[in-house]
Amino acid sequence: MTAKARIIGIGQAVAGDDAAGIAVLRYLRDRAPSEVELVEAAEPSAIIPLLIDGAKRVVLVDAVLGAGAPGRVVTIDPSGAKMRGRPLSSHGVGVLEAVELARVLAPESIAPRIVIVGVTIERPAAYGERLSAAVEAVVPRAADKALRFARRRADA
C-alpha cells in the first residue's frame, strides 16, 4: 500500500553535515505518526521511484549548499525553484534535478505535493559520523517542519 505522506531523508550517514537529512529522519523515527512513511535515501537519484509511486505528499529533507550560514532551515518549492549551474545538493545529482526527472518520466504519477526542507551546510571538508554543532542544533526544528508539511492537507 502506498503511503499518503512520506518523508525522505537524503544523505550519507558517514559524511558529516551531509547527513542532515538522515539525522532528521532518525529523529522522527519515534515521533512520526504511523500514517507518515519515513524513508532513507543515500542520494537524490534514489528518490525518483518514491516520487512517482502514488504518494500524495512527499517531503524531501536534505543538506543544502549555498543558501546561507550553516544551521538554517529553509523550505524550497521544487516547482518554482530554478536550477543553476550546480546542484543545491552536495551529491552529484541534486534534489531539484531528481524531482524534474521524475516529472518528465511519469507526469501522471508524480506526487501532487512535494516540498524540500533543507538544512544549510558548508561543503563538507572532512567526513565522519558527527554533525557540526550548528547543524545538529536545528535537527528538531527541521523535523518539526517536515512533519507539518507531511501532515498538511493537499488543499491547505
Query: Confidence band (pLDDT; 50, 70, 90) for 130?
Result: confident
Q: List the grid coordinates of 117.
A: 526542507
pLDDT at residue 85 greater than cutoff 60: no
Q: What is the pLDDT of residue 79?
A: 82
Q: Which tens digits make up the pLDDT trace of 93-118? A: 688 899 998 999 999 999 999 999 99
pLDDT at residue 135 greater than cutoff 70: yes
Q: Which tens digits make up the pLDDT trace of 2-24? A: 679 999 999 988 888 889 999 99
Q: Are 25 and 40 in contact (CB under 8 A)?
A: yes
* Sequence letter at residue 110: I
Share of the chain above pLDDT 70, in %: 83
CATH number of 5-151: 3.40.50.1450
Query: Confidence band (pLDDT; 50, 70, 90) for 155?
Result: very low
Q: Is 47 helix (H, G, I), strand (E, B) or coil?
A: helix
Domain ranges of the chain: 5-151
pLDDT at residue 83 greater than cutoff 60: no
Q: 78-82 contacts: CB < 8 A, separation 24 or more?
A: 78/114, 78/115, 78/116, 79/114, 81/116
Greater pLDDT, 91 or 75: 75
Judging by DSSP bridges, how do beta strands 113-121 and 73-76 pair with one another? antiparallel
* Sequence letter at residue 5: A
Share of the chain above pLDDT 90, in %: 60
